[in-house]
Structure 1
Amino acid sequence: MSVTIREPAVAGRFYPGNPEKLTADIGDYTTPTNAEKLAAIGCVVPHAGYMYSGHVAGAVYERLDLPKRFVILCPNHTGAGHPLAVMREGSWRTPLGDAAIDAELADQLLAAFPLTSEDADAHRTEHALEVQLPFLQILVPNFRFVPVAVGTGRFDVLSALGESIAKVVQSAAERVMVIASSDMNHYENDADTRVKDRLAIERLLALDAKGLYDVVHEKNISMCGYGPAVAMLTAAKRVGASRAELIKYATSGDVSGDRDMVVGYAGIAVL
């Protein structure tokens, strides 16, 4: 029986295609600190090109006590495939090797929430989840994950997805972390982006899924992964999360020097 391999779509563009260079870069982004590791239930991590947001993603992953199993939620930037697309078997390939899908968890999620669908098309060229995997491959060898591409903006569906994820996480024999892949506000000047991002970050830190949803829409915050973040927050609160911590925030202007049109990046742990 052939194994499904999802080939890398953005290696060499969003992150190095050379494994030695990729390993070195991730080492730079995850420089160890003496801070206590956080046993997070969930987190928000950015997904831009590593040169812009890798230092924020790395700060999150370095700070967390990472388990061996993950549900990774990402936005669907391409519009392809099912609105709630799960890959349930096989693996994802990066320059560092193959990362295995957690078929058991995937099957449980598909059974728990009938609005999800087994669908590889939504994932085929999506970058937002792929860029997380090299960090995990370096820091958590032999991890397993469930990839979920979120292409709906309906709060009731996002909330119900989170509730179903919580049931799956709570029934697992081992700890499972829920990762929401998201950048923050897009393509406004640095000052305005920081103001908008602070409004969204405040709701994230308050564990307020509905508040996050509302402020994104009311203030026109172009946070591409608000859907994954709403589902993650809902799941984390159901599992027992009581607080969140902003680990790092930056904009692309901090790297490029261009403050006229930036993208914001927040790294947040939910505990």
Structure 2
Amino acid sequence: MRVRASTVDGIFYPADREGLAQRVQGLLAGGGPAGTAGCLISPHAAYEYSGGPAAAAFQAAAAVPVQRVLLLGPVHREASDRLLLPESETYQTPLGATAVDQETVRRLAARDPCFALDDIPHLEEHCLEVQLPFLQTLFPQARLVPLLMGRTTARLVDALAAAIREEPALASEHTLIVVSANLTGYRPREEAQREAQALLAMIQAGDWRGILAGTEAKTLSSCGAGCIAAILAVEQGLGSPARILKLGSSLEVSDDERRVVHYGAIAFPKNKPWSNS
């Protein structure tokens, strides 16, 4: 059995099972009431930086009987013109193993040349891994569909949006969609603030084309912008019922005003307009 072992335990979150369980449960306890969101945007950084917003995002879906999680995120290392699916059969953290929904992964890999099976980017990438302890705590029986967007392009955004609309497993009301994304990359303080505000406005307006344009023009630096654009594109720009739950930045932990990252917890309702259930 192929296992995607944890790689940032002891760096981004505690490496021991008990310590990690306590940390996640403590964060969730402060994350707000359990809700019924169907899609989340959650940040990816060390838990001392982004754990609060991440917990708020996951609590927004904690009351949903989740059977499957479509976990989306960017590639931080070598870019690719593909939507990258894992060959691994399980994802491991100190809390245990989460099974990959291999049937759905195979269907995605076969539906469009944009999708490709490739374990290497998944083995190198941290953005999905840091979400897993929250998923394992709240939805221990849920199966995982991990997907990395190789770069932010209209072609990949269109392909991913089409899959979310058309694949029954992904459109199901029992599937939770989680986008792992920070609102900005490292930016000087004022620039980071402007970028975060601009991206949040686009998310609330459902302006996925604006997100693509801003990424191409380098006026947006969000790692995860393409995945955010894809979930908004599913609605074809008709307006997004996004709820901004919690915001934060690296300045809450670090005093480095030259390299600021903004984080956000954002939730979309369970009754997704593309749901077939």
Q: TM-score, structure 1 length as denominator?
A: 0.89
CA contact (8 A) 1:197 1:264 kept: yes
Query: What's the counterpart of residue 44 of structure 2?
Result: 47
CA distance 1:171–1:256, shift in 2 (3 Å): closer
Deviations 1:105-124 (A, max 9, x none): 21222233331011111101
Q: CA deviation at 1:203?
A: 0.8
CA contact (8 A) 1:36 1:63 kept: yes
The answer as to 2:22 corresponding to 1:24 is: yes
Structure 1 CA distance for aligned equivalents of residues 221 and 4 of structure 2: 28
Q: CA deviation at 1:94?
A: 0.4
Query: What's the counterpart of residue 114 of structure 2?
Result: 115
Query: What's the counterpart of residue 56 of structure 1?
Result: 53
Structure 1 CA distance for aligned equivalents of residues 232 and 86 of structure 2: 22
Q: CA deviation at 1:68?
A: 2.2
What secondary structure, in the 3-state scheme, does the structure 2 residue paired with 1:127 have? Answer: coil
Letter in 2 for 1:156: R
Structure 2 CA distance for aligned equivalents of residues 19 and 268 of structure 1: 28
Alignment of 1:1-271 (within 5 A): 3-31=1-29, 35=33, 37-40=35-38, 42-64=39-61, 65-66=63-64, 67-79=66-78, 83-87=82-86, 90-169=89-168, 175-218=174-217, 220-235=219-234, 237=235, 242-271=240-269
CA distance 1:93–1:225, shift in 2 (3 Å): same
CA distance 1:5–1:92, shift in 2 (3 Å): same
Q: TM-score, structure 2 length as denominator?
A: 0.88
CA distance 1:203–1:170, shift in 2 (3 Å): farther
Deviations 1:70-116 (A, max 9, x none): 11111111217773210255101100010110112212222333310
Task: Provide the alpha-carbon RMSD of the alignment.
Answer: 2.3
**More deviation in 241-250 or 139-148?**
241-250
CA contact (8 A) 2:99 2:144 kept: yes
Deviations 1:113-163 (A, max 9, x none): 331011111101210001110000011111111111111222122122211
Deviations 1:150-209 (A, max 9, x none): 112221221222111221146766621221111122222333211111101111112221
> What count of residue pairs does the alignment treat as equivalent?
266
Structure 1 CA distance for aligned equivalents of residues 154 and 79 of structure 2: 20
Structure 1 CA distance for aligned equivalents of residues 92 and 43 of structure 2: 20
Q: CA deviation at 1:5?
A: 0.6
CA distance 1:217–1:98, shift in 2 (3 Å): same
CA distance 1:221–1:268, shift in 2 (3 Å): same
Q: CA deviation at 1:219?
A: 5.3
Letter in 2 for 1:17: A
What secondary structure, in the 3-state scheme, does the structure 2 residue paired with 1:77 have? Answer: coil
What secondary structure, in the 3-state scheme, does the structure 2 residue paired with 1:152 have? Answer: coil
**More deviation in 167-176 or 46-55?**
167-176
What secondary structure, in the 3-state scheme, does the structure 1 residue paired with 2:58 have? Answer: helix
5+ residue gaps, structure 2, are 270-277
Q: Percent of pairs identical after alignment?
A: 31
What secondary structure, in the 3-state scheme, does the structure 2 residue paired with 1:70 have? Answer: strand
CA contact (8 A) 2:32 2:59 kept: no
Q: CA deviation at 1:16?
A: 0.8
Structure 2 CA distance for aligned equivalents of residues 16 and 54 of structure 1: 12
Q: CA deviation at 1:211?
A: 1.7
What secondary structure, in the 3-state scheme, does the structure 2 residue paired with 1:224 have? Answer: coil
CA contact (8 A) 2:31 2:55 kept: no
What secondary structure, in the 3-state scheme, does the structure 1 residue paired with 2:253 have? Answer: helix
